[in-house]
Amino acid sequence: MKKLLSGNEAVARGAYESGVIVASAYPGTPSTEILETVAAEYPEIYAEWSPNEKVAFEVGVGASFAGARVLVTMKHVGVNVAADPLFTMSYTGVKGGFVLLCAGDPGMHSSQNEQDNRNYAKFAKIPMLEPSDSQEAKEFVKMGFSISEQYDTPIIVRITTRIAHSKSLVEMEDRVESEIPLEFVKEPRKFVMIPAHGRLRHVVVEDRLKKLKEFSEEIPIQKMEIKNPKIGIITSGISYQYCQEVLPEASVLKLGMTNPIPKDMIRDFAGKVEKLFVVEELDPFLEDQILQMGISVQGVGKLTGELSPDYLAEFFQNKVEDMKIIHPTPSEKMNLPARPPAMCAGCPHRSVFYTLKRKKLTVTGDIGCYTLGVLPPLETMDTCVCMGASVGSALGIEKATGRSDNVVAVIGDSTFVHSGITGLVDMVYNKSRGTVIILDNDTTAMTGRQEHPGTGVTLMGEETKRTDFIKLAKALGVENTEVVNPYDLEALDKAIDKAVNSDELSVIVTNQPCLLLRREKRTQIAEVDLASCIGCQLCLRLGCPAISVISSDNKKVKIDSMLCSGCMVCADVCKSKAIISISV
Amino acid sequence: MDKVTNLILTGVGGQGILTASEIISEAAAQAGHDVKKSEIHGMSQRGGSVNSHIRFGEKIYSPLVIKGECDLLLAFEKLEALRMADFVKEDGNIIVNRQQINPSTVINGTAKYPENIEDKLTSKYKSVIFIDALNIAKESGNIRTANTAMLGAASKLLNIPADIWIDVIRMRVPERAIEANMKSFQMGLDIIK
């Protein structure tokens, strides 16, 4: 039976069919739906949201050492966090098969960078597979488990946004349980990486890489198709699909396994075609390796941004003769108003940024919906680097400038658990007088509302103990702690004033849940009393999508009754008392 | 079935575009076509522009529609229709919901919402159909079924049997909203002659 599945759903299915027992992850676009699918559809698999990718990976390490087949998933930048255990697990190898699924985001649809994670496979000296649609995503995950066990290595299956969030048909098969016994058997020379053992294992790694190079020549997912020999294209992943679309008659070497590459096969292919191209997204990962082999090849791709069939059509337009090619249509420059994403109407983050802006504070920011605080009209986020960086950077600014009364770190609840806690430990330890605001909206909002240790519910829907941020901060040694309702502008104002002017380190926790968790339950909405509205547009400074100017001739404002959540922050901002509450 | 059909759904996060594109691609699959669909989740959903590409036919490679190859642009918002119009092929169809949702750049006064969008589209494309999906949804008794009205209109132009549409919509929408969705679907369908 065939089903229409996204790449992410297909990866989950592949894990299920492979007999996976443990799956762990930290949510991150575009990888999030993999574990959500596992938890929702495959009760045979224990699935967890871990506090961050490093822990997720380590849970996987333990489960694999105990014999279980393990799927660990994360977005591309998550691998940076998990890199430490990844590189050493390359040495220890596995017991149960270990697949690291990492999902890249070329074009940065929802990421802070677009690093090419294929480099990780080469760097960590482990094999990598790159599927080009959902069917392959499932197959390659299954194949990944066999390769992992056969070659005693963790393996990367790399997808990108256009695989993860594209749907195509997938053939369903049954689950086959793994035969490896589930018990931890002591094997210190393999599992305990002291230098004496590590030196021995490094030799094993290099030997394994040699064997994998031979394997890469034989594995059937390296597919050579000689059609018109005038043009030969070496490609992998989604780029393969774009090539098939744009140049259906060109000869193609499609690599399913991209680390290590099949050098003999590439040489053979190069000899069979007149002009050789490599089509790949982001880094010249394949191109550089092929050039090193002394083969003349032209790289096609974009170092920056997402590859598209349109780009390829344009590139190849005057380079082919006697061959079918799609003709590109030039884009029209229309100069239309952009539609950037914005915090939702009623988002509890909005008032915090509104208040911070009025106080003209420097705001070190972090990763989440609240990063949108950088956009107009709030424009109140001054740094955003990686998960958890707000806390450490605020401390750095304080130490560099000697002032703690003009800088504030803002970090979401899930991000704080991910990697803000260690930053706070540093602040306590190194005597910071700074301020950290934890924007606790009770969910991991940006990736689509996932649970985390601060919500008190697990990925599998069970109630559990809840990390209490105030108790945690106190236990670390933070004296000034306060919980504030962000919809109460006056209280928020006072709490921030007190915290930044204090000689002690302060932690403020704002405590209203994500709007999307409670929009259905609204009891009131805001409405403009046009007789009182003087058209000052102070309320527009909130940047709430529900509030807009009536028309270009009428400066007064209106509130969209469908969008309004009834948070009433705009009513507090209005000096003319023109915004009133209406029960619904 | 040899011919590939290329569709793009466009609009604003929260308009039900992803649900609508789910329904179309599922219906295409049930009608026996090879199908691919691609869209972006995450940050772009927070009130930003949303696009979903759907392609179906005998064999589909790229999940993305190439500029100038789109057979049907289903636009849930006028400005977004204009933004994506250059994907549409010369003899392609555009169905536009007559809704205007001001982007934040317009609300805060840094940009102006373009005027005469309807004229701009009709002067360039042969087949542009405007529908008031929100009004249809209101009439059906459920304001959230505007996307189903758009599907109704689209269904008339796509090679997928009527009973499959009905089945898939029944499967995809909440039980209590089935009746309103069916009404909206039919009213959307009736608009296209």
Q: What are A242-271's pLDDT values in tens digits?
A: 999 999 999 999 999 999 999 999 999 999
First to last CA, chain A: 48
Hey, are the CB atoms on B41 and A369 less than 8 Å from each other?
no
Displacement of CA A136 from its chain's centroid (Å): 22
Distance (Å, whole) CA A409 – CA A381: 9
pLDDT, tens only, B163-177: 999 999 999 999 999
Q: DSSP per residue over A303-336, as a string?
A: SSS---HHHHHHHHTTT-SSS--PPP-PPP---P
Residue A334 in domain: no
Containing A266, the helix (H) or strand (E) segment is: helix A263-272
Main-chain phi, psi angles of A405, to 5 degrees: -90, 0
Mean pLDDT over B16-33 rounds to 96
Whether A259 maps to a domain, the answer reads: yes
Interface residue of A233, A339, A353, A554 to substitute, partner B, most B CBs within 10 Å: A339
Report pLDDT for B2: 56
Please tell me the predicted confidence (pLDDT) of residue A551: 83
Domain boundary among A292, A316, A340: A316
Determine the angle formed by the axes of helices A134-150 and A7-17, rounding to 10 degrees. 40
Average pLDDT of chain B is 93
pLDDT of residue A544: 94
Query: Which of chain B's residues have a Cβ under 8 Å away from the Cβ of A332?
Result: 85-86
Tally of domains within chain B: 1
Whether the Cβ atoms of residue A280 and residue A236 lie closer than 8 Å to each other:
yes
Cβ-contact A87, A116 below 8 angstroms: no
DSSP letters along A385-401, please? Answer: -STTHHHHHHHHHHHHH
User: Residues A443, A551: one domain?
Assistant: no
Q: At what angle do helices A195-218 and A263-272 cross, to 10 degrees?
A: 30
DSSP per residue over A225-258, as a string? E-SEEEEEEEE-HHHHHHHHHH-TTEEEEEESEE
Q: How confident is the model over B138-164, as a mean pLDDT?
A: 95
Chain B contact probe: residue of A114, A167, A558 with most B CBs at under 10 A: A167
Please report the residues numbered 104 through 133 in chain B whose beta carbons come closer than 8 angstroms to any beta carbon of chain A: 104-114
Looking at the complex, report in whole angstroms how far the Cα of residue B64 sits from the nearest Cα belonging to chain A.
7
Single residue among A218, A252, A272 that ends a domain in this structure: A218
Nearest to B42 among A109, A166, A169 (CB): A109
Domains in chain A, number = 4
Per-residue confidence (pLDDT) for residue A556, from 0 to 100: 94
Distances in Å between the Cα of A346 and the Cα atoms of A61, A378, A387 are: 42, 15, 25
Q: Which of A469, A485, A517 is the last residue of a domain?
A: A517
- Given a cut of 70, whether residue A497 has pLDDT beyond it is yes
B1 touches chain A (CB under 8 A): no
Instruction: Say if residue A462's pLDDT is above 60.
Output: yes
- pLDDT more than 90, % of chain B: 83
CB contact under 8 A, A244 and B26: no
CA B52, CA B64: separation in Å to the nearest integer?
9
Residue A330 lies in a domain: no
Distance CA A301, CA A312 (A): 8
Residue A222 above 50 pLDDT? Answer: yes
CA atoms within 13 A on the CB side of A199: 2
Based on the fold, state whether residues A165 and A45 are members of the same structural domain.
Answer: yes
Characterize B176-186 residue by residue with b for buried, 16 or more Cβ atoms within 10 angstroms of its Cβ, and e for exposed.
ebbebbbbbbb
At residue A516, does pLDDT exceed 90? no
In a domain, A332, yes or no: no
In a domain, A455, yes or no: yes
The predicted-structure confidence for A72-121, as pLDDT tens digits, reads as follows 999 999 999 999 999 999 999 999 999 999 999 999 999 999 999 999 99
At residue A501, does pLDDT exceed 60? Answer: yes
Q: Give the domain extent around A389.
A: 350-517
Claim to verify: residue A276 and residue A302 sit in the same structural domain = yes
Length, in residues, of chain B? 193
For residue A47, give the nearest of A68, A72, A64, A30 by alpha carbon.
A72
Q: Which of B37, B46, B82 sits opposite A342 (nearest CB)?
A: B46
Q: Do B46 and A338 touch (CB under 8 A)?
A: no
Looking at the fold, whether A163 and A18 belong to one and the same domain comes out as yes
Closest Cβ opposite residue A337 in set B60, B66, B103: B103
CATH code for the domain of A302 = 3.40.50.920
Domain that holds residue B90: 5-191
The vertex-A434 CA angle with A431 and A436, nearest 5°, equals 120
Mutation target for A interface from B41, B51, B71: give the one with most A CBs within 10 A.
B41
The CATH number of the domain holding residue A487 is 3.40.50.970
Q: Are B67 and A245 a contacting pair at CB < 8 A?
A: no
**Mean of pLDDT values over B80-90:** 95
Judgement on whether residues A555 and A508 belong to the same structural domain of the protein: no
Look at A245 and B66 and tell me if their CB atoms are within 8 Å. Answer: yes
Task: Give residues 456 to 515 of A whose Cβ lies within 8 Å of B.
Answer: none
Per the CB < 8 A criterion, the answer to whether A476 and A425 are in contact is yes
pLDDT digits (tens, 9 = 90+) for A24-49: 999 999 999 999 999 999 999 999 99
* Residues contacting B145, CB < 8 A, separation 6+: B136, B137, B177, B180, B181, B183, B184
By the CB < 8 Å criterion, does A337 face chain B? Answer: yes
A374 touches chain B (CB under 8 A): no
How confident is the model over B109-122, as pLDDT tens digits?
778 899 999 999 99
Inform me whether the pLDDT recorded for A399 exceeds 80.
Answer: yes
- ipTM score for this prediction: 0.95
Residue A446 distance to chain B (closest CA, Å): 6
pLDDT of residue B1: 42
A323 within domain boundaries: no
Residue A101 has what pLDDT?
98
Residue B94: phi and psi, rounded to 5, are -125, 125
Across A179-193, A325-339, A431-445, B115-129, least confident range: A325-339
Query: Would A327 be classed as within a structural domain?
Result: no
Which DSSP string do the residues of B102-136 spell out, in sequence order?
--HHHHTTSS-PPS-HHHHHHHH-SEEEEE-HHHH
pLDDT value at residue A240: 98
Q: Do A363 and A307 fall within a single domain? A: no
Cβ-defined contact of A328 to B62 (cutoff 8 Å): no
- What per-residue confidence (pLDDT) applies to A325? 94
Residue A562 confidence (pLDDT): 84
For the domain that residue B149 is a member of, what is the CATH number?
3.40.920.10
Upper half-sphere CA count for residue A241 (Cβ side, 13 Å): 26
Q: Are residues A209 and A235 in the same domain?
A: no
What is the pLDDT at residue A322? 87
User: Judging by beta carbons within 10 Å of its beta carbon (0-12, 13-18, 19+), is residue A322 exposed, middle or buried?
Assistant: exposed
Task: For residue A129, give the H/E element and its range.
Answer: strand A128-129
Q: Report whether A528 contacts A559 (CB < 8 A).
A: yes
| Interchain contact A408–B (C-beta under 8 A) | no
Contact present, A412 and A384 (Cβ < 8 Å): no
Contact residues on chain B for A32, CB-CB shorter than 8 A? 41
Confirm whether A30 is domain-assigned: yes
Q: Does the beta-carbon distance from A310 to B66 stay under 8 Å? A: yes
- Report whether pLDDT(B44) > 70: no
Interface contacts A/B by beta carbons within 8 Å = 158
pLDDT at A321: 86
The verdict on A394 and A476 lying in the same domain is: yes
Q: Measured between beta carbons, which residues in chain A are less than 8 angstroms from residue B83?
A: 334, 336
The rounded mean pLDDT for chain A is 96
Under DSSP, the state recorded for A416 is I
pLDDT for the residue numbered B109: 75
Rg (CA), chain A: 27
Contact in structure between B56 and B11 (CB atoms under 8 Å): no
- Using a CB-CB distance cutoff of 8 angstroms, which residues of chain A are in contact with residue B82? 334, 336
Same domain, A489 and A386: yes
Flag the least confident range among B43-52, B137-146, B182-191: B43-52
A 10 A CB-CB count for A359 gives 14
- How confident is residue B42, by pLDDT bands cut at 50, 70 and 90? low
Structure tokens at A313: 């059509």
